[in-house]
């Protein structure tokens, strides 16, 4: 019998705590994604080891090998995704700006998590910027990946209060807890609807 679950890859560049949250959620029998592959552009990403310990296939394609040819790096990854029958991609702390080529290949099949309430604070240092602006709330967003950085349609958001005396690290930790819940819930919702 073929699996009704969507064969999904998670892209990481570092510790991979969102990846862990997704994989843990997928242990529920009715979860609609099968996280079949974890991809990293950094062969030393800590999350790769955890994924392997769970019996998940891992793939490290070091972007440094490709110099400035970002598309060649992505074509190498894309070929592996196709060879493995991957149908959907969750970016989870993947710290490369994607080329329009890859975005086009996976249009409507690739989502990202970003640690701000988009459209505010695209890019880096989101928590620092939210505190500096005097915002009352921070949060995270899941969005479809489009050619602009952190620019695609927002699918879901979670909010947390910004407290007096908050540091970027304290706020990041508060938001991260919400990221873990929101990412799993959103993947469940999107892929159940498919
Ligand atoms: C998260 O804050 C995510 O929103 C951002 O990068 C961070 C990755 O953290 N895109 P982790 O590797 O999932 O722990």
Give per-residue pLDDT as tens, 31-48.
999 999 999 999 999 999
> Catalytic pick from 63, 73, 114, 180?
114
Residue 8: the pLDDT is: 98
Residue 174 belongs to some domain of the structure: no
Whether 122 has a pLDDT exceeding 80, the answer reads yes
79-108 residue pLDDT tens: 999 999 999 999 999 999 999 999 999 999
Whether 131 has a pLDDT exceeding 90, the answer reads yes
Residue 106 belongs to some domain of the structure: yes
Residue 39: the pLDDT is: 98
Whether 193 has a pLDDT exceeding 80, the answer reads no
Residue 113: the pLDDT is: 98
Longest dimension (CA), the chain: 56
Rounded Cα gap, residues 190 and 185, in angstroms = 9
Question: pLDDT band at residue 3, thresholds of 50, 70 and 90?
Answer: low
Residue 76 belongs to some domain of the structure: yes
Give the full edge-to-edge strand order of the sheet including 110-114. 57-60, 33-40, 6-12, 88-91, 110-114, 137-144, 154-161
Residue 157 belongs to some domain of the structure: no
- Give CA 80 to chain center in angstroms: 18
Residue 50 belongs to some domain of the structure: yes
Residue 194: the pLDDT is: 65
Tokens of 48: 């790769």
Neighbouring-strand partners of residue 7: 34
Tokens of 5: 């679950």
Q: Which mutation among 15, 24, 49, 115 tests ligand 1's pocket best, with the greatest number of atoms within 8 A of CB?
A: 115
CA 17 to ligand 1 centroid distance, Å: 7
Neighbouring-strand partners of residue 111: 90, 144
Residue 79: the pLDDT is: 98
133-191 residue pLDDT tens: 999 999 999 999 999 999 999 999 999 999 999 999 999 999 999 999 999 999 999 99
Residue 163 belongs to some domain of the structure: no
Residue 88 belongs to some domain of the structure: yes
The CATH number covering residue 15 comes to 3.40.50.170
Domain count along the chain: 1
Q: Which mutation among 15, 17, 93 tests ligand 1's pocket best, with the greatest number of atoms within 8 A of CB?
A: 93
Residue 129 belongs to some domain of the structure: no
Tokens of 144: 């479809």
98 annotated among ligand-binding-site residues: yes
Range of the domain at 25: 6-117+142-147+182-193
């Amino acid at each position: 019998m073929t699996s009704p679950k969507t064969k999904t890859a998670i892209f990481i560049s570092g510790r991979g705590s969102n990846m862990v949250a997704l994989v843990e959620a997928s242990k529920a029998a009715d979860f609609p994604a099968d996280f079949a592959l974890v991809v990293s552009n950094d062969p030393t990403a800590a999350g790769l080891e955890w994924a392997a310990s769970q019996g998940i296939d891992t793939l490290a394609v070091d972007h440094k090998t490709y110099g400035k040819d970002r598309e060649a790096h992505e074509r190498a990854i894309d070929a592996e995704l196709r060879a493995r029958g991957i149908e959907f991609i969750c970016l989870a702390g993947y710290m490369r700006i994607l080329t329009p080529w890859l975005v086009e290949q996976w249009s409507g099949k690739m989502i990202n998590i970003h640690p701000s309430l988009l459209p505010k604070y695209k890019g880096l240092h989101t928590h620092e910027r939210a505190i500096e602006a005097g915002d009352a709330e921070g949060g995270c967003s899941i969005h479809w990946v489009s050619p602009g950085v952190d620019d695609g349609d927002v699918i879901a958001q979670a909010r947390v209060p910004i407290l007096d005396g908050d540091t970027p690290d304290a706020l990041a930790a508060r938001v991260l807890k919400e990221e873990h819940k929101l990412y799993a819930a959103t993947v469940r919702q999107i892929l159940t609807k498919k």
